[in-house]
Amino acid sequence: MQKRQLGTSELSVSALGLGCMGMSFGYGPAGDREEMKGLIRAAVEQGVTFFDTAEVYGPYTNEELAGEALEPFGQEVVIATKFGFRLDPASGKHVGLDSRPERIREAVEGSLKRLRREMIDLLYQHRVDPKVPIEDVAGTVGDLIREGKARHFGLSEAGVKTIRRAHAVQPVTALQSEYSLWWREPEAEILPALEELGIGLVPFSPLGKGFLTGKIDETTQFDSSDFRGVVPRFTPEARKANRGIVELLERIGQDKGATPAQVALAWVMQQRPWIVAIPGTTKRHRLEENLKAAELTLTAQDLSSIETATAAMVISGERYPEAAQKWIDR
């Protein structure tokens, strides 16, 4: 697989990465540990060098899975993880944002052990903590980089003002934020700012949390442990209303011998050369399907057709439940 450089940094990774969260957390029951290890290693064998996890996924168990699966590959692969939540010692569940310097250091020490690494390749702030100046966060990560415990600094779901303030203290290598054909808000302000500052974009949910694969409709039933069950964009009514975007991907794909997921991923990849999406999966055949998107080229006519069709669409439903809206940085 071809590689891409995240912004103007020296961090070069596979053109598509792998989001590991769903293997342990968020999208229903955790997958079988040995199967998930095999899936991660199969991704490496097929050229993936960029893997995404976080302390809060599980919590802890996803980092442990990624660390064990990727340990044999050493520095051949890049692992990104995240800090930023306060975890209850008894339950392990997160009980709010916490990016105080001492909490960052605590999180990093735990992540290094679970990932079986001496250095975290890309260390993200998971969500912007309004109670802690971003300059303090950037300064702490800068100290960790100088100490050899982290290599690159990243932000997640941060607004332009926050990005600029952080970047002025410690250069930001990548921003991880949601971006796909059904969530294009980053195009207005985020993408121009990233281009100006030389920061890469790592889109999570490039397949619309699975909706853009075409495998979800208004009749789909979600497990009680699947967070999509409380997401407004995934109510049966919203899923029915949003079906048009999947039908568009199906039409484009039919002409190219590609699946809706492959078209959706190819579209994201072609928006900027410094974008590296991290679709997640728990299935080997879906991994192979997704990775083939790196070989798919959409023509100018394809892109124009997508623009024309989506301009007339109104996507129904918010992407987060109301309780999570407070974590969005503007």
The average pLDDT across 93-107 equals 94
Catalytic residues: 57
Q: Is the pLDDT of residue 64 over 90?
A: yes
Both tokens assigned to 264: 């959706």
CB 134 within 8 A of CB 101: no
Task: Write the pLDDT tens digit of every residue in 140-173.
Answer: 999 999 999 999 999 999 999 999 999 999 999 9
Token pair listed for 170: 């410690």
pTM over 0.95: yes
**Furthest C-alpha separation in the chain:** 55
Q: Per DSSP, which regions of the chain are E strands? A: 3-5, 12-14, 18-19, 50-52, 78-83, 85-87, 94-97, 120-125, 150-156, 172-178, 200-204
Place of tokens 């996507």: 315
Question: Which CATH fold would you assign to the domain 3-207+271-296?
Answer: TIM Barrel (3.20.20)
Nearest to residue 183, comparing CAs of 209, 221, 159, 219?
Answer: 209
**Rounded CA gap, 211 and 205, in Å?**
10
Q: What's the rounded Cα separation, in Å, for the pair 138 and 166?
A: 6
Alpha-carbon span 267 to 132, nearest angstrom: 36
Domain ranges for the chain: 3-207+271-296
pLDDT number for residue 330: 82
Question: How far is it, in rounded angstroms, from Cα 196 to Cα 225?
Answer: 40
Q: Where are the beta strands (DSSP E) in 55-108?
A: 78-83, 85-87, 94-97
Question: Taking 90 as the threshold, does the pLDDT of residue 91 lie above it?
Answer: no
